[in-house]
Chain A
Amino acid sequence: MNVQLTAEEKDFLSGAHGEAGAMAMRVVVSAAEMLGAASLVEITSAHIDGCLYHGDGGVEFAEALVAGGGRVAVSTTLNVGALDLLHPEMIRGDAHRVAMARRQMAAYVTLGCAPTWTCAPYQAGHRPGLGEQVAWGESNAIAFVNSVLGARTERYGDFLDACCALTGRAPLHGLHLAEARRARVVVDLSEVPDALKGRDVLYPVLGTWLGLEVGQEVSALVGLPATVTEDQLKALGAAAASTGAVALFHVVGVTPEAATLEQATGDQAPARRIRVTADMLRPALDRLSTVGEGAATIDAVAVGSPHFSAHEFDALTRLIEGKHSLVPFYACTGRGVLVELEASGQARVLRDAGVEIIVDTCVVVTPILPSAEGVLMTNSGKFAHYGPSNTGYEVVYGSLEDCVESAVCGQIRRAEEVWQW
């Protein structure tokens, strides 16, 4: 099928924006053909996930764009890389891998991308508005920008994210279009106790369940309080995008395309309605821990997937100030947040308590954890999901309070009563 191109888009193909622009447009048009898109859509922002090292091919691709005179056409942020550029000694790994990862990260900066190195660019000042067309990579960022901000992106992966950024275009399909954004599944949370809805620990579990239940369908969640926080929605989306291909969910009365249930569903009858019960959430909670019944101790704690916000650090500081972690305690965040923590003196308080602040990367995408196996405790649904396969560690899921309490005594401590209703 032929993709309709504007004169400006054809100029890209003919090399008016250099060889890199032509190559990027060829890739975008190829993707549009594969996806069955009839035309391209102009975008205002991009978030590139392709800066994480998976092999030398990713480096060659980025450097080919640089050699071809490439330059991003829209405001573009960068996801995590494989290195903490500010604290390089934190990363283990062979010299070739480290050198290539550094080249890959440098090439994207040369293309004009902002060196944000964060999976939460939306908490680093990059917040597209309602209805804005964008091309974002990184599953949690995709879920957040679509759901919480109401901007429009499809799920963009390695290479296509960068080619969209260079051309300022994306294939016009899927979630760029209003029709695909209406909820087909209604999730009724009225049976979940209000006390649990007020706790952060619910949201990664709810997201884990949602991803398994709806896969890539758009859902509308009914019955969450208007006081649900941005960090809770971030955690929900990240977990849902780990166990499913969730790129958009609506929270009725909270998110911008869901003032009412009718708005969220586009006034059409949903294909399914699900009433969430304790029996549904319990398996999702259990899935986030892989340690056996008898496990008693932990070897490390990691928080910050997605990257911790300033608010989340405030909560951590309140909990851990004046105490000391007996095990390595990693808090992953963006370098912008670290600047705030250093300025306020909070970084010192955290380090005194034994918290290592990791920036630009995180513990499940690059070797940071001290050994090849052990037990990792986390409050993140995403760390809990990817931890075992990516790090070799068994995982234990708990609230931030549980994580701090466990870190201080080296023993697993979890408040279970909140899950009983």
Chain B
Amino acid sequence: MVRGRIIVAGSAQGELLRLSAPISFWGGVEPTSGRIADTRHPEHGVCISGRVLAIPATVGSSSSSAIMLELIRENTAPAALLLGTADAIVALGVVVAVELGLGTVPVLEVPWQQILDLPAGQVDVAEDGTVRAAGAA
């Protein structure tokens, strides 16, 4: 079990997807499919929809908020975001999605080493900012 700093509160469950490199959502993720579109990214082609998505760091354009909003609108968003480095730009897209009544995605800041220690497979993200293997106490 790890405990993250809550950036956007919420609970979720999904299969953990750990990216092995930082990503820019703008230019890096295709909102209609939820797939990683950046051909230079190691997880190019992988779908982030419904996953508990762990990202070491976000980079690049401030238009990434807009892409996060589009992912939520299109029902292609990750189930939750675990950020190795806090990022207000992606999280702001979630804040705006909530304001527009489109839905939400929990966002936590979790030290990357702790993310690496999580077991693969289904994980639960809880309101109190904890992340643990699904079904674990």
A contact set with B: CB distance below 8 Å: 23, 26-27, 30-31, 34-35, 49-50, 52, 54-58, 60-61, 64, 137, 139, 155-160, 245, 389-390
Which stretch in B10-18, B95-103, B111-119 binds the other chain? B95-103
Q: How far is the CB of B56 from chain A (nearest CB, A)?
A: 15
> Cα distance A269–B28 when bound, in Å?
38
Query: Residue of A at shortest CB range from B40?
Result: A389
- Residues of chain A with a CB closer than 8 A to B59's CB: 245
- Residues of chain B with a CB closer than 8 A to A245's CB: 59
| Partner of A55 from B27, B69, B99 at Cβ < 8 Å | B69
8 intermolecular pairs with C-beta atoms under 8 Å apart: A54-B66, A54-B70, A55-B70, A56-B73, A58-B69, A157-B64, A157-B92, A159-B66
Check B95–A139 contact: CB distance below 8 A: no
- Residues of chain B with a CB closer than 8 A to A159's CB: 65-66, 69, 92-93, 95-96
Check A61–B69 contact: CB distance below 8 A: yes
Check A157–B95 contact: CB distance below 8 A: no
Residue of A34, A56, A155 with highest tally of chain B CB at under 10 A? A34
- Residues of chain A with a CB closer than 8 A to B99's CB: 23, 26-27, 61, 64
- Residues of chain A with a CB closer than 8 A to B27's CB: 389-390
1/0 contact trace for B50-91 toward A, CB 8 Å?
Answer: 000000000101111111011011100000000000101101
Known A-B contacts A61-B100, A157-B89; A55 and B66 likewise in contact (beta carbons under 8 Å)? yes
Q: How far is the CB of A11 from chain B (nearest CB, A)?
A: 19
Q: How far is the CB of A243 from chain B (nearest CB, A)?
A: 10
Check B63–A57 contact: CB distance below 8 A: no
Known A-B contacts A56-B73, A57-B102; A158 and B91 likewise in contact (beta carbons under 8 Å)? no
Q: How far is the CB of A355 from chain B (nearest CB, A)?
A: 29
Query: Residue of A at shortest CB range from B69?
Result: A57
- Residues of chain A with a CB closer than 8 A to B72's CB: 57
> Cα distance A158–B62 when bound, in Å?
6
Q: How far is the CB of A282 from chain B (nearest CB, A)?
A: 22
Check B62–A156 contact: CB distance below 8 A: yes
Q: How far is the CB of A217 from chain B (nearest CB, A)?
A: 15
Check A54–B62 contact: CB distance below 8 A: no
> Cα distance A58–B65 when bound, in Å?
10
> Cα distance A34–B64 when bound, in Å?
16
1/0 contact trace for B1-28 toward A, CB 8 Å?
Answer: 0000001000000000000000000110
> Cα distance A58–B73 when bound, in Å?
10
B31 interfacial contact with A, CB 8 Å? yes
